[in-house]
Amino acid sequence: MKNFSVFNFIKSANLFFILCILVLQIIGLLSLYSVAVDEIFLFHKQLIWILLSWCVFFFIYSVNTSIIAKSLWFLFILNLLALIGVYFFGKEIYSAKRWLDFGFFYYQPSETLKLILLLMVAKKISQRPFGQIFNFIELLKLIIFIAIPVLIVLLQPDLGTAGIILLMIASLILFNGLEKKTLIGCLIVFMISIPIAWKSILKPYQKARITSFIKPLEDSQGTGYNVIQSKIAIGSGQILGKGWKQGTQNKLQFLPERHTDFIFSVLSEEYGFVGSSLTLLFFFLILFFTFNLARQTRDRLNCYFCLSAGFFLLWHVILNLAMTMGLFPVVGIPLPLLSYGGSHTITTMAFFGLIAGICKNKDLFQ
């Protein structure tokens, strides 16, 4: 990192962007500390993950995006091998085998796959002539490319991660443009695949989550319990909340998975509508900054890298909030910068390091 200084970093990476990230991480740590009163090690582990994620942030910030683009195939093969390794040596938690156990930490390859696969698709799209939209053959080639890693994730089983990867990639493809007849064909195939997936692919517990999403009160003590308790927590926070560490749904442990999937419910109960709205404002500011950066850059690779980071954050926030409010089935989507989890924290900060690195290339802007 040649001639690096804190002042030069802040100036080039944009102080506004860095402050938004720090504020959200502090909010996440405060909420996690409130959750982890009886399991304080979760707070300490997340603090370590955040410090490590800033190391990843600075490393990616210091590397030119062209070098990152050249390294993607190598990283993709490593990630694919890790995914295959999960199948044979993975740690099983809650009937799902998604983690590699290294003793002092669990690594979830499907999280880093989001970063690598999304950037690879972004690179492929950026190499296309400007204004050239996807036809059926080109789209089919791209689908074949992403099919193997996504199918491996589905087999873990991890429907949520596989689904959000496809959603983020679809967002990039639609941004680039798609032939009308190809788009209509994709919609028809999607509609046909729904009943097939229901009968042949989805496991019983995954079907139960979908049915409980439609009718949560039919099994209020079973599959509908998580969402019901989450909605109670969000609603009971009212305008100003009950105060830090004063949330009854949290303290009495009615709220499940409150350190991961439902961290926003904890935040809403303790800080109310005002606190949760301010939190969402910081997410919005990061998204605005990221998409505006994509608009300003003249380099197509950097543009699509920015869009990748933006769609990553956008869909994670939307789906996590929708889950907590009962507007989407519970599929295990974490809330970036707030939810507990090492692999996701590092993946998120890697995306942000990429954005900060693009910021410093002032010559690439209009």
**Residue 225: predicted pLDDT:** 83
**Residue 9: predicted pLDDT:** 61
Tokens of 30: 């405060």
Report the domain count for the chain: 1
> Is the pLDDT reported for residue 111 higher than 90?
yes
DSSP string of 169-206, one letter each residue:
HHHHHHHH-B-HHHHHHHHHHHHHHHHHHHHHTS-HHH
Query: Residue 13: inside a domain, yes or no?
Result: no
Mean pLDDT of 276-301: 94
Query: Residue 162: inside a domain, yes or no?
Result: yes
Domain encompassing residue 213: 28-360
Q: Kindly report the pTM of this predicted structure.
A: 0.91
**Residue 1: predicted pLDDT:** 46
Average pLDDT, the chain: 87
Mean pLDDT of 59-85: 93
Q: Which residues in the chain belong to E strands, given as ranges? A: 91-93, 96-101, 106-107
**Residue 130: predicted pLDDT:** 81
Distance CA 40, CA 331 (A): 26
Task: Report the range of poorest mean pLDDT among 13-22, 77-86, 338-347.
Answer: 13-22
Query: Residue 5: inside a domain, yes or no?
Result: no
Query: Residue 14: inside a domain, yes or no?
Result: no
Q: Which residue has the higher pLDDT, 247 or 111?
A: 111
> What would the pLDDT profile of 175-196 be if each residue is shown by its tens digit?
998 989 999 998 998 899 888 8
Task: Report the range of poorest mean pLDDT among 65-74, 105-114, 220-229.
Answer: 220-229
Q: Which residue has the higher pLDDT, 50 or 330?
A: 50
Query: Residue 210: inside a domain, yes or no?
Result: yes
Tell me the pLDDT band of 211, cut-offs 50, 70 and 90: confident
Of the candidates 205, 312, 336, 314, which has an alpha carbon nearest to the alpha carbon of residue 261? Answer: 336
With a CB cutoff of 8 Å and minimum separation 6, the contacts of 159 are: 202, 206, 331
